[in-house]
Amino acid sequence: MKIEIMNENHRDKVLELSKAFYCSDALDHEVPMNIIETNIDAAISGDKGLIGFVFCEDNEVVGFSYVTTYYETEVGGICVQIIDLYVNENARGKGVATQYFNYLFDKYSGAKRFRLEVVKDNVKAISLYKKMGFTDVSYGQMKIDKI
């Protein structure tokens, strides 16, 4: 498996995979198509603080993820926020996500924290994340959407 920085050549496949991801039970709400396209644009341009990664097997994109970084006061350093992580059903169970996490841990070796979100009933994902060393956060999150 090869991990690449998302670029314009990946747009159509990432859009296809994004539609599958954003319509799956990995999310607890729908994401409009214009937001999905804006995310891809931001990741490809790299000017919004969003970095996109694609996972390739035999020259085919089988998954994608977005990452952003910020300063986390609780740990006094950089936090790597893994925003989305999706692997095509045909490529699941082959270690793609595990390889990706190890790639991120190496790429961002100076980071003080890695963080992600997961819906509570995504048991397989939670199991993998715990194997990779992630622990539950004991407090909830709140938000205001201005879209």
pLDDT score at 139: 84
pLDDT score at 25: 63
> 142's torsion region: left (phi>0), alpha (psi -120 to 50) or beta?
beta
pLDDT score at 90: 93
What beta strand segments (E) does 1-147 contain?
A: 2-5, 51-57, 60-72, 77-87, 113-116
pLDDT band of 77, cuts 50, 70, 90: very high
Q: Distance between CA atoms of 4 and 137, rounded to whole angstroms? A: 30
Please, what is the Cα angle at 13 between 7 and 16, to 5 degrees?
130
Average pLDDT, the chain: 92
pLDDT in tens, 15-28: 999 988 877 665 66
pLDDT in tens, 97-143: 999 999 999 999 999 999 999 988 889 999 999 999 999 998 888 88
Would you say the C-alpha torsion 97, 101, 107, 108 has a positive or negative sign? positive
pLDDT in tens, 33-52: 898 999 999 999 988 899 99
pLDDT score at 121: 87
Kindly list the structural domains of the chain, giving each domain's residue range(s) and its CATH number in brackets, ordered by start: 2-131 (3.40.630.30)
What average pLDDT does this structure show over 8-15?
96
